[in-house]
Amino acid sequence: MKEVIKIEGGHRLNGEVSISGAKNATVALIPAAILAENSEVDIYGVPNISDVESLSVLLKELNVSVTSPSSDHFQIDTSNMKNIDLDHEAVTKLRASYYFMGSLLGKYKYVKMQMPGGCYLGPRPFDLHLKGFEALGAEVNYEAGYYEIKADRLIGSKIYLDFQSVGATINIMLAAVLAEGKTMIENAAKEPEIIDVANFLNNMGANIRGAGTSVITIEGVESLTGHPHEIIPDRIEAGTYLIMAVAMADDVTIKNIIPQHIESLISKLIEMGANIEVGMDYARIRRSDDLEAIDITTQTYPGFATDLQQPLTSLLVKAKGSSNIKETIYAERFKHCEELQRMGADITILPSQAIINGPKSLYGSKVEATDLRGGASMVIAGLMADGITEIHEVYHIDRGYHNIDEKLEALGAKMWRETIE
């Protein structure tokens, strides 16, 4: 028995939708919270996604108390925490479980855990995390599917990242905040989620400067104490709903956004001919029928986000002309294109590139959410398509989109879940 999402396409969207806390910040903030010494940490704006459930399981494995006084409020208490080997299946479900490596190494100078899981998007530079730990004085061993990382002392160092990796930047920060002396991360990633994590750590007593620039400096401190934190809005969820609205809205307002975080997407949608009004913390999208083809090249922030490439592909099927997407971050992030072809899209897939010829009408079909953002792409395609689209492997979607069914139904979409054999 498994769950599928069904969408009856063609229904126009109207109303307001509010964006939840950022998934990519949340999955780092929760492991960061365990750096607090014998104290309670309150995190607000936690999205209701399955990745958070997996993180909660791992906290409980470490004997960290987790309670939810309200739906989006997490209370984490580290008073009885123990450093045990992380071999729970939740590790293999969630790539971001690797943030426990940085936190546990920083706090206890020892961590042993399974290889983290998550969506397969082609090679991802995990070795950068390990090189960072080694530069701080840790010894890394990999044996029988487990990483064992240990150090007598962690000592600040200058670390140059070969690639602007968000994961490596955050993980090295987590390990370095309690290290002796100064750590410099050069060619650091600049994503807003990194600033959010740095602000959180600084409020707990860390000394981090330069987050959001290419050089981050960390002066090690002796200990951290819990401090309440509100998570920033999810720029990828915001971008996904913007794309949905451009595809199918009569009049939709997307609230609780930081427009600066999705500037690259907004400018591309306007270039396509979308009717978008941007305010301080909202965007209003009105119907626009004549969309033009555009070219996209994914880049690290503040460039066009790779996580929005897949949702945008579905919209480009509606655009007049030939659109070209070049993927520079994850070369294999085009599995969703094959699913769109099943629905009638005219897409040529090349190495690290896709050419979308439009406009084409999509028709409902059985498709698969090949990964998290590929799942969002299928939802958008389903909203646009003629007939009913049946999406399989929906657990991918639930990993990153808070209450997507309720939010879309409130806007007028017709979607529901069924259990099939």
Q: Which residues are catalytic?
A: 119
Count of helices and strands (H, E) across the chain: 14, 23
pLDDT tens digits, 251-288: 999 999 999 999 999 999 999 999 999 999 999 999 99
What is the mean pLDDT of the segment spanning 139-158? 93
Q: Kindly list the strands in the beta sheet with 110-114, ordered across the sheet, starting from the edge strand earlier in the chain.
A: 110-114, 146-150, 139-143
- Listed in order, strand segments (DSSP E) in 220-278 are 229-230, 249-255, 275-278
Query: Does the pLDDT at position 372 exceed 90?
Result: yes
Q: What is the mean pLDDT of residues 360-376?
A: 97
Q: Which of 26-35, 102-111, 223-232, 324-333 has the lowest mean pLDDT?
A: 324-333
Q: Which residue has the higher pLDDT, 1 or 271?
A: 271
Domains delineated in the chain: 2-19+235-420 (3.65.10.10), 23-230 (3.65.10.10)
| pLDDT given at position 94 | 80
DSSP characters over 89-131: HHHHH-GGGGHHHHHHHHHHSEEEEEPP-----S---THHHHH
Q: How far is CA 251 from the centre of its chain?
A: 27
Omega before 69 within 30 of 0, i.e. cis: no
Beta strands in 162-286 (DSSP E): 182-186, 207-209, 215-219, 229-230, 249-255, 275-278, 282-286
Position 353 confidence tier, pLDDT thresholds 50, 70, 90: very high
Q: Tell which residue, 102, 87, 81, has the closest CA to residue 28.
A: 102
In the prediction, which pLDDT does 114 show? 85
* Separation between Cα atoms, residue 205 and residue 3, nearest integer Å: 44
- Calculate mean pLDDT across residues 154-170: 96
For the segment 111-127, what is each residue's pLDDT rounded down to a tens digit? 999 877 655 545 455 88
Q: Say how far apart CA 256 and CA 282 lie, in whole Å.
A: 6
Instruction: Quick: pLDDT tens for 311-332.
Output: 999 999 999 999 999 999 988 8
Indicate the average pLDDT of the chain. 95
Write out pLDDT tens, residues 71-99.
899 999 999 999 999 988 888 878 788 99
Taking the C-alpha atoms of residue 40 and residue 369, their distance in angstroms, rounded to an integer, is: 37
Whether the model clears a pTM of 0.85, i.e. scores above it, the answer is: yes
